[in-house]
Amino acid sequence: MPAALARPKSAGSPVVDKLVATSRELHDKIVAGRKPSMKFPLRNLSNVRYALKKGHFEMLGKKKERTLTVSTVKTFAQTMRMIALSKQLIETDDRATKRDAYYQTKNWDEARCDEQVESDTILDDIEALFGVTKEQLCFTPDEHGGLVAGELTVIDRKAAGSTETVEIDCTNFGSGSYGIPTDVEHLGFRTKAKFILAIETGGIFDRLNRHRYWEKADCILVSMAGVPTRAVRRFIRRLADEKKIPVYVFVDCDPYGIANIYRTLKVGSGNNAHLNEFFCVPQAKFLGVTPQDIIDYDLPTHPLKDVDIKRAKDALKNDPFIRHHKEWQQVLEQMLKMGVRIEQQAFAKHGLNFVLDTYLPEKIKKGKFLP
Amino acid sequence: MPAALARPKSAGSPVVDKLVATSRELHDKIVAGRKPSMKFPLRNLSNVRYALKKGHFEMLGKKKERTLTVSTVKTFAQTMRMIALSKQLIETDDRATKRDAYYQTKNWDEARCDEQVESDTILDDIEALFGVTKEQLCFTPDEHGGLVAGELTVIDRKAAGSTETVEIDCTNFGSGSYGIPTDVEHLGFRTKAKFILAIETGGIFDRLNRHRYWEKADCILVSMAGVPTRAVRRFIRRLADEKKIPVYVFVDCDPYGIANIYRTLKVGSGNNAHLNEFFCVPQAKFLGVTPQDIIDYDLPTHPLKDVDIKRAKDALKNDPFIRHHKEWQQVLEQMLKMGVRIEQQAFAKHGLNFVLDTYLPEKIKKGKFLP
């Protein structure tokens, strides 16, 4: 875990140090009668490159400067108050959702936010300003994080601020599973699993869990339920980094599964490039479903919809990740040519357990994955 | 648990008995050269009444008859094959999603389904024909079921078909939680909790879990994440029935929170009336947020959107549940008059923990809930 990501602590938190140092600098300038200003990295595609070696989108150096003037005074005040709120959250080891943060601004008199988009923008600015994640600033998304089952013990704290730990054995949930919390930075892991299998649909996850596929295959199952949330991506990333285990991804074979779900998990999202360093899983590999599987496994297909065709063409033209990997261009072109898509559940044609008895073991044994 | 809902077993399952008896009858008629037919309850609002005492929508006796003719032969064959698939699933203690079932039909030669809507309709028919749930027929929805934290131990089987049990202690998940499986009929419960709190948003659920509100209040928290899935409704219902504990519901104060989330949890959904008996929680009570809370707690509001106004007016006019309860009509009329809605997270204005330190204890102590 990079030092910058160490969990903020009430005492001596490096994040709090950054917040205080910047605030003090601004304060001193104001007291000295000089105009204070803040420099934010530009948050759009013009300031992004695909960092091949690192495996994710990365920011270039372009910055915008916000100087305190009559027209910026409200935003300036809001930014300062939001920094203060973050400091308070870190010091009390509490968390606020973005929605909570918005409601907190209702007490800021003239600096109050009228719409949540205002407070969200300020949070994005602060995140980029300090080069840390919202989670490190103790703001959490209001979205749930996916489910886990299999050969993994998660080590968590008993409660907020507690030093007592709890151990969560993910082999011991019967037909249920472990719900990943919205903030995962403080979690510890113990596992001897051979790989992590990240799955698109709840249906396949349930089937594999129900039949304890994770026991036979010695692995950890993660249900992403569509495009993975930040918490899911970060959870898989931390687990894979710390335990040095490979990550295989099993999604529908359609442009959405490839260019949205898998791409976002592997290299991050386009419009939050300053975060991708943390919220991506560069070691992820694409297990399936592939267009070749249609032929190899005689799978029933569906015709591509217009939106699929549009999405595939768009990815071929504009997505730096797809444009970098010839294999992916070939897959999408093959898909467009065949005019069909396939779902994970299509293997049910050969029997409900074909997917776990035959398909997954064969693909993993072959070890040939898309990048 | 009513006898009809007893878990199907491989041997002597009452559901299998029903499937076999009906199939045998049809078979015998065909062999005897007579025209076989099946009678299905009509599945629409013309065949529904609001059963006040039972607390849910209920079917009247209207039925449609499907006789084997040249034009019905395909549907007839599909129905028989789906009944056979259900029998197989029950006897092998396996589960299939509706999607799985659709792909299984791909092997049915001439009886194959071209679109999933075909196989879904057959499943709905069979469910209504036998008066049992899809879950009892071993078909599960492809949707996840919500999260649980607090004073509850869930007792599950170690694996499909296993007699070995596992105990899942929902006080022991740290910042995480227990993910409810898609099928909950086989779960057992142990708890001394005073109530179940069903919560709309993940943000509030996380806050209450993080601060172990369930410990102070001696309760069980359930995150519904919007309109509760069948599994969540059934989970709460079974838990509340078996342990005889009250259910309080905490959602946004807007027409969606009231007429969609709460109404569906409490009395079921309009278009699946033959299932509401199982998938509703008649003992549920509405804790908040209420329009009166805006005044009592000085909460920041949002103006109603057009869609909110439309939904409120529609509920006042057409929803049998709202039309039955004068209190709900008053609430929706008051909301329309004030022209505002409130979110659960609005309490953050008074401090992030106001909701758990002040609001929830006060409301529960008062004990005045909307019906």
Instruction: Please tell me the predicted confidence (pLDDT) of residue A202.
Output: 84
* Amino acid (1-letter code) at residue A26: L
Instruction: Please tell me the predicted confidence (pLDDT) of residue B205.
Output: 92
Q: Which one, of A325, A274, A249, lies nearest residue A56 by Cα?
A: A274
CB neighbour list of residue A199: distance below 8 Å, 6 or more residues apart: A205, A208, A221, A222, A223, A224, A250, A251, A344
From the CA of B33, how many Å to the nearest CA of chain A?
34
From the CA of B113, how many Å to the nearest CA of chain A?
12
Buried b (16+ CB within 10 A) or exposed e, A122-140: bbbbbbbbbebbbbbbbbb
Strands B247-250 and B284-288: parallel
Q: Which of residues 181-200 of B touch A (CB under 8 A)?
A: 181-183, 186
Q: Which residues of A touch B186 (CB under 8 A)?
A: 175
* Amino acid (1-letter code) at residue B216: K
- What's the pLDDT band for B87 if we cut at 50, 70, 90? very high
Q: Which residues pair with B165 in a beta bridge?
A: B157
Strands B139-140 and B96-97: parallel
Greatest Cα pair distance, chain A, in angstroms, is 76
- Positions of A marked active-site: 103
Over residues B291-338, the pLDDT tens digits come to 999 999 999 888 998 889 999 999 999 888 898 899 999 999 999 999
Strands A139-140 and A96-97: parallel
Q: Which one, of B278, B285, B191, B287, lies nearest residue B243 by Cα?
A: B191
Q: Which residues of B touch A300 (CB under 8 A)?
A: 103, 106
Q: Which one, of B202, B212, B225, lies nearest residue B345 by Cα?
A: B202
CB atoms within 10 A of CB A253: 24
Asked if the Cβ–Cβ distance from B103 to A174 is below 8 Å, we say no
Local confidence pLDDT in tens for the 371 residues of chain A = 333 334 444 456 889 999 999 999 999 998 998 988 888 887 766 666 667 777 777 777 778 888 888 888 899 999 999 999 999 999 888 888 888 888 889 889 889 998 888 998 899 889 888 888 888 898 887 666 699 999 999 999 988 778 899 999 999 999 999 999 988 989 999 999 999 999 998 889 988 998 999 999 999 999 998 889 888 999 999 999 999 999 999 999 999 999 889 999 998 876 666 677 788 899 999 999 999 999 999 998 889 988 899 999 999 998 888 988 999 999 999 999 999 999 898 998 898 899 999 999 999 999 999 99
Closest Cβ opposite residue B156 in set A99, A159, A174: A174
Provide the CB-side half-sphere exposure for B327 (13 A, CA): 10
Written in H, E and C, the secondary structure of chain A is CCHHHCCCCCCCCHHHHHHHHHHHHHHHHHHCCCCCEEEEECCCHHHEEEECCCCEEEECCCEEEEECCCCCHHHHHHHHHHHHHHHHHHHCCCCEEHHHHHHHHHHCHHHCCCCHHHHHHHHHHHHHHHCCCCCCCCEECCCCCCEEEECCEEEEECCCCCCCEEEEECCCCCCCEEECCCCCCCCEEECCCCEEEEECCHHHHHHHHHCCHHHHHCEEEEECCCCCCHHHHHHHHHHHHHHCCCEEEECCECHHHHHHHHHHHHHCCHHHHHHCCCCCCCCEEEEECCHHHHHHHCCCCEECCHHHHHHHHHHHHHCHHHHHCHHHHHHHHHHHHHCEEECHHHHHHHCCCHHHHHHHHHHHHHCCCEC
Cα dihedral sign for A223, A228, A230, A233? positive
Q: Which residues of A touch B159 (CB under 8 A)?
A: 174, 210-212
CA dihedral A326, A331, A336, A337 (to 10 degrees): 90
**A104 shares contact with chain B (CB less than 8 Å):** yes
Asked if B134 contacts B122 with a C-beta cutoff of 8 angstroms, the reply is no
Pairwise pLDDT comparison (A219 vs B3), residue with the higher score: A219
Strands B139-140 and B165-169: unpaired
Q: Which of residues 274-313 of B touch A (CB under 8 A)?
A: 300
Strands B96-97 and B63-67: unpaired
Instruction: Please tell me the predicted confidence (pLDDT) of residue B10.
Output: 43
Closest Cβ opposite residue B103 in set A180, A212, A348: A348
| Rounded Cα–Cα distance for residues A72 and A99 (Å) | 23
Instruction: Please tell me the predicted confidence (pLDDT) of residue A270.
Output: 66
Q: Which one, of B118, B262, B127, lies nearest residue B200 by Cα?
A: B262
| Tokens encoding B119 | 């196989």
Over residues A102-159, the pLDDT tens digits come to 888 988 988 999 888 899 889 988 988 888 888 889 888 766 669 999 999 999 998 8
Q: Which one, of B332, B331, B321, lies nearest residue B284 by Cα?
A: B321
Instruction: Please tell me the predicted confidence (pLDDT) of residue B6.
Output: 40
Asked if the Cβ–Cβ distance from B175 to A181 is below 8 Å, we say yes
Q: Which of A352, A354, A355, A357 to mutate to test the interface with B (most CBs of B within 10 A)?
A: A352
| Tokens encoding B124 | 């709905």
CB neighbour list of residue A358: distance below 8 Å, 6 or more residues apart: A350
Asked if the Cβ–Cβ distance from A352 to B94 is below 8 Å, we say yes
| Rounded Cα–Cα distance for residues A139 and A103 (Å) | 13
Say how many CB pairs under 8 Å bridge A and B: 172
Asked if B197 contacts B252 with a C-beta cutoff of 8 angstroms, the reply is no
| Tokens encoding A351 | 């029997």
Q: In Å, how far from its chain's centre is CA B354?
A: 31
Closest-CA residue of B relative to A160 is: B210
